[in-house]
Structure 1
Amino acid sequence: MKIAMFTNNYKPYIGGVPVSIERLANGLRKRGHIVDVFAPTYEEQELETGVYRFKSLNKKLDGDIVVPNMFDRDIRKQFQKRNYDIIHSHHPMLMGNIALSYSKKYDIPLIYTYHTRYEEYMHYVMPSLLNKNKDDTKIYKVAEQIVSKYTRSFSNKCNLIFAPTPEIKNTMIKRGVYTPITVIPTGLSENDFIRDREKTEEIRKKFNSPNLFCCVSRLGKEKNFPFMLKALKALKEKWEKPFKMIIIGDGAERKSLNLLSKKLGLEEEIYFLGNIEHDKLVHYYNACDLFLFSSQSETQGIVLLEAMAAELPVVAVSGSGVNDVVVNGENGFKTELNEDLWIKPIEEIMGNSYLFNTLKIGAYNTAKEYTAESIAKLTEENYLQLIQGKVKYVVP
């Protein structure tokens, strides 16, 4: 098959969507398919086969998010060079609009992967309005309703939807999406299961702590880091054991989070490392004891599975993207949004070697269910069913 993928962000931008697209594209290529990724231009991008860059606007959104120029004529010129069998959009707007128009014009089936809960990201799109009126819940609700209605409308114009988790699928159905929905999560690459004892020990020695925790995430408001930092302050005051926490990632909130950690007296415990190349992340995962997570805005939370591939038990806040992956007592624990409840499993896991080892095994076994190879095969089967007309609509 010849597959055209459209995305509003891609490498070198750090995020779950670029990771998901790259892994799926590579997995499908290994299965003999042609996959072309249509992605925006970045200053530090690298030339890649099968990746076509269209122009980006000069202005960026908060968090240095690039805005693609959907009117770039080169997009159509490049698209017309191949007779594509499938168009796969990873966003409902901007490049999603291009994907939808090409689907109609050239009569090509359109698939949309619901990667992002866009209502959780309104502060990037309308920062000045929402920041000035941050206590006005009506403005937020209206903005959320507009985004939700638009996403539903776009989804119902597609031929098939991929949802990363059953929870997201159910949410879409409840919101009025009647296009067929299949659950297809992001897969893990072979590199996620690598073990390099020398590099792991090097990182462990660098931080020199008997209890080393980590989190990998973009530093945005929706990731709920203030909760994590305040909870870790409570852990420091209550727990008698020393610990260190490394936070990998960058974003608009880095400066304010750094100031908050100092204000909370966590200068010796919290380390903000910024962005780290994805191929090197596995060594940091392997060097740590636990993966801590506080976001409630995820669709899948691929970093949870990456951590589990390194046998890291997860302690997270219950929410979208977490509930379908983290199983209490099996591969980690998820709690309510409560500082005391959240730090309790950290103490329990690190104080009980049997529980710790049981969770490590469970985490690894969970990760093995999400290999990129198996996800690519499942995606291929759905593509074929769509082309053959076997996907049926459930008309409301």
Structure 2
Amino acid sequence: MNILMFTNTYRPIVGGVSESVQRLKNRLQAEGHRVLVVAPKMRGQPRREKDVVRVAAVQHFNGSDFSLPVPIPGQLFEAIEDFDPDIIHSHHPFLLGDTAARAADTYGLPLVFTHHTLYEHYTHYVPGDSPRMQRFAVALSTEYTRLCEAVIAPSESIRDLLLRRGANVNITVAPSGVDTRRFGRGDGTMLRLRLGIPRGAYVVGHVGRLAKEKNLPFLAEAVARLLQWQRDAHFLVVGDGDARECMQQEARRYGVESRFHFTGRLQGQALIDAYHAMDVFAFASHSETQGMVLVEAMAAGLPVVAITAPGVREVLRDGSNGRLLMHDDSMGMTMALDDLADPERRRSMSVAAHGVAAMFDESRCAARCLEVYRRAIAVGGAFSHADDNTWERVRSRLGAEWHMLLHRGRVLRSLLQDEPSDRATGIDSEIHDTAPK
């Protein structure tokens, strides 16, 4: 099968969507499928890339780590026609997601969309962030699903949320996979030694972008309090971003800054070894659609302490493979982490963590995506306009632009029909409504 993917984030960006796309691409290719990725140009990207087409982009949009693609569909047509795709898989509902929809319409191909992100939690990266912008993000992603033959949700919570929002009902749950065997093989001894962490110290760890939407001041406060209680405990943070400063402020406020260790971004075996330098994994984000870093941590045998959120509760069983807290209770998180300082308590949870991680191995997740592709092709039939004459190509492109214009009209109509007072207060509550009662 020839699979054409569009994504706004890709290497060298380190983040959930970028990692998900790369892992899915690699796994599908390992199973004999052809994959071509369309992504933005970025500083630091590999000089030579196989099976990747880059488009022009504005670097470090609004001070973030992200590049803002400036898609020029014309430059892609030759690459698309040479690749001759059977299906198009979009990983975003805007920018290159729009280009994916145009390409699918132009060439008569099925379009699949993975709803990786709760976009309303990321509007602070856009000038003029407001409740109205959050409502726009919800309307945009919901309406985009209606352009697609099929939708992939990374967790059951996100599937349920999309259905309540009126999205395309053809949704399959297929979380991004993790190479569980690889993450199970690591050695954190050297990292502990380099950072001055004693071999027998209790190490709480965290991995991810240090960004506003990750609820990191709350996490830092809870862990700093633990370090006050546990004089031999340390906090190991893998990742970088603007929120690092506020985490360091919490460490200073509690007088434990010497036991807060920031490694910066790590990849490959260095990242895996960092997981193995930890004893327990702590997580407080509300903006996740799936628990990929949690699965990575569990594959390394780590119990997890986290706040309930979409995706988190699919992988974390309270009292089995960690502790799941129902709301932002800083003292509750400190006490849960303190409880797991006992190696005996962690031992059985580590075994359970390995078992849960195995259910999210990348081979299983790739198989689910392939099944979605096959069903989408079977319904609509794989058909390409690549061999049409010039007039037919122009007409199909104009038709694609018209359909995108209608899509934008539906987004605006949906936004105008919403009551601001309801939507401004309802976005977060509808997410938390998916929590078990």
TM-score (norm 2): 0.82
- Cα distance change, pair 252–233 in 1 and its aligned pair in 2 (3 A): closer
Corresponding residue for 2:191?
203
Cα offset, 1:59, TM superposition: 5.9
Once the two structures are TM-superposed, the CA of residue 241 in structure 1 deviates from its matched residue by 4.2
Q: Which has the higher helix share?
A: 2
Report the equivalent of 1:394: none
Q: Structure 1 residues 186 and 388 mapped into 2: Cα distance closer, same or farther (>3 Å)? A: same
Aligned 1:100-179 pairs, distance under 5 A = 100-126=101-127, 129-130=128-129, 140-179=130-169
Partner of 2:43: 43
Equivalent residue, structure 2, for 1:7: 7
Q: Name the residue aligned to 1:252.
A: 242
Q: Return closer, same or farther for 1:345/1:366 CA change in 2, 3 Å cut-off.
A: same
Q: Which amino acid aligns with 1:287?
A: A
1:221 aligned to 2:212?
Answer: yes
Aligned-pair Cα RMSD in Å: 1.8
The answer to which structure, 1 or 2, has the higher relative contact order (CA under 8 A, 6+ apart) is 2
1:184 matched residue in structure 2: 174
Larger Cα Rg: Structure 1 or Structure 2?
2
Give, in angstroms, the shift of residue 222 of structure 1. 0.4
Distance in 1, Cα, partners of 2:126 & 2:265? 23
Match of 1:137 in 2: none
**More divergent stretch after superposition (146-155 vs 59-68):** 59-68
Instruction: Decide which of 352, 369, 372 is 1:379's aligned counterpart.
Output: 369
Q: Deviation digits for residues 280-322 of structure 1, max 9, x if unmatched?
A: 2110111110011111110002110000000000011111221
Alignment of 1:234-383 (within 5 A): 234-237=225-228, 239-335=229-325, 336-351=327-342, 353-383=343-373
* Cα pair distance change 1:313/1:80, threshold 3 Å: same
Q: What is the deviation of 1:32?
A: 1.3
Number of corresponding residues: 376
How far has the Cα of 1:331 moved from its partner? 0.9
1:314–1:190 distance in 2 versus 1, CA, 3 Å: closer
Aligned to 1:87: 88
Q: Deviations over 1:77-136 (max 9, x none)?
A: 31121221110000000001001111111110000000010000010122xx34xxxxxx
SS in 1 for 2:218: helix
- CA separation in 1, counterparts of 2:230 and 2:293? 29
Provide the C-alpha distance between the structure 1 equivalents of 2:126 and 2:175, rounded to a whole number of angstroms: 26
Identity of aligned residues (%): 32
In 2 relative to 1, CA 191–39 (structure 1 residues): closer, same or farther, beyond 3 Å?
farther
Contact 1:7 1:96 in 2 (8 A): yes
Q: Give the superposition deviation at 1:242.
A: 2.0
> Secondary structure of the equivalent of 1:192?
helix
Whether the 8 Å contact between 1:297 and 1:321 is mirrored in structure 2 is no
Q: What is the SS of the residue equivalent to 1:112?
A: strand
Change (3 A) 1:261 1:76: farther
Match of 1:33 in 2: 33
SS state of the match for residue 36, structure 1? strand
List runs of 5+ in structure 1 lacking aligned partners.
131-139, 392-396
Distance between the aligned counterparts of 1:236 and 1:32, measured in 2? 49
Counterpart of 2:98?
97
Conserved 8 A contact 1:158-1:179: no
In the TM superposition, residue 340 of structure 1 has moved relative to its aligned partner by: 1.1
Are residues 9 and 176 of structure 1, via their aligned partners in 2, closer, same or farther at CA, if it must alter by over 3 Å? same
Q: Following TM superposition, by how much is the alpha carbon of 1:213 offset from its aligned partner in structure 2, in angstroms? A: 1.4
Determine if contact 2:55/2:70 at 8 Å carries over to the other structure. Answer: yes
Q: Distance in 1 between matches of 2:167 and 2:35?
A: 27
| 1:39-78 alignment runs, 5 A limit | 39-46=39-46, 47-58=48-59, 60-71=61-72, 73-78=74-79
* Structure 2 CA distance for aligned equivalents of residues 386 and 58 of structure 1: 35
Alpha-carbon spacing, 1:58–1:249, altered in 2? closer, same or farther (3 Å): closer
- Paired with 1:357 and 1:59, the residues of 2 have a C-alpha distance of 43
What is the deviation of 1:390?
8.6
> Structure 2: how far apart are the matches of 1:190 and 1:71?
38
Corresponding letter in the other structure for 1:204: R
Contact 1:159 1:179 (C-alpha < 8 Å) held by counterparts = no
Partner Cα distance (1:235, 1:308) in 2: 22
Change in Cα spacing, 1:376 to 1:58, as seen in structure 2 (3 Å) is closer
Partner of 1:135: none
Partner amino acid for 2:207?
V
Cα deviation for residue 220 of structure 1 reads 0.7
* SS in structure 2 of the partner of residue 103 of structure 1: helix
